[in-house]
Structure 1
Amino acid sequence: MPREVRMDAIPSLDTYELSDRYDREEGRVFLTGTQAIVRIALDQIRRDRTNGLNTAGFISGYRGSPLGGIDLELWRIQERLKQDRIEFLPAVNEDLAATAVLGSQQVETQGDREVDGVFGLWYGKGPGVDRSGDALKHGNAYGSSPHGGVLVVAGDDHGCVSSSMPHQSDVAFMSWFMPTLHPASVGEYLEFGEYSYALSRFSGMWVGFKAISEIVESGASVALRP
């Protein structure tokens, strides 16, 4: 069902700022697919604070089309991420990134921790999913922490536009018994991102998140849910 949006929450051209894509919490914002993935982490921090949780975030991966610009966007807003205690650590390869994300789920076992938990976000293109299968499979087997959770964002180039071969990472996810979501629009990135972390925390599993070229490389005006 379509959401009802208060008219006074819709920004005008005179009041809209580029930073609203990450800062605005209601109304409408314009997002590319890449920016929507970044906003998933920022929304999760806000959601946890609203629910009385003191959490942090950790993002790591290795870029590649259609996720070729995600690290550039994360670098661009790095100061903004630090304000919300979201650490971005681009990795040498996808395997090391997955291993680092696994470590973020061990924080809740430490007695001297400063946060309730750390949620993780791994990203990589289809061939990166293939090469890091062992690390991702072991990460899912280890599980996610109750106040953490892990989102595994796979950039799938179904049309083989900028890859050596087409990829369908959900088949690999299924072989690792990893639940998988496939959002069909930029707006659904935010909705499915929220659901993914809730699912990961509840089930104790890592959650696969398909990001196909047609959505990642598009943009849309998105209605935010307060």
Structure 2
Amino acid sequence: MLKAAAIAGVSLSALVLCFSYSANAQQMTETAAPQRSGGSMQVAASDAIEAEKLRWERDFALWQQVEKDHVVEEYNAYLHMFPTGEFAEIAKERIKQLTAKKFESSTPAAVHTTKKASADDEAMFMTEMEALEIQARLTSIGYDTGSIDGVLGRHTRRAIFTWQRDNQLPMSGFISFEQMESLSSQSEAHYTEWLSEHGHENSRLRLLVEKQNAQRNN
């Protein structure tokens, strides 16, 4: 298996994690086997729950390592181990983004400017005001961004990802300008009401109120 995994480009860290959890799963199965032979349905159900829990822990542990490294090879390694895992769709999207980014960086400037930026590239060029508005709009329709500070951090990324999933959009955790337009349209009524209640709380939120008032006057 080591040889096959090496050919597939699976990293050593991924192998270590997976073999460790596989050993635990095998030990659990061998321990439970004599009990199952007694025909206890309750024990069988308990074993199934434990097996699913172990599968999730194994999947999540590998994903944490892969996301930390954030390179195409590691995402491919994850998909090799868990082709239908909990984070498989995110891994595929990240591979697309990293591959596109690498391609664009090697493309002449004249050609590069004609290409539509990927969602994460677009997000990088968003202003603090745009980031504030994304956070406020998501918050107004029930998504937890952690705080409204103009920084698209971990909590905001998770909120974006959940919103994308709920709206059948590519789940990347990054929001494109096109998606921002959809979010604005979807949240407008709730956002306006939310700003009227919270817009006075700090200077950042007051900036959003000023922006909305300016748009209304134009």
Q: Give TM-score scaled by structure 1 length.
A: 0.25
Q: Give TM-score scaled by structure 2 length.
A: 0.25
More strand by share: 1
- Larger Cα-atom Rg: 2
Name the structure, 1 or 2, with higher relative contact order (CA <8 Å, separation 6+): 1
More helix by share: 2
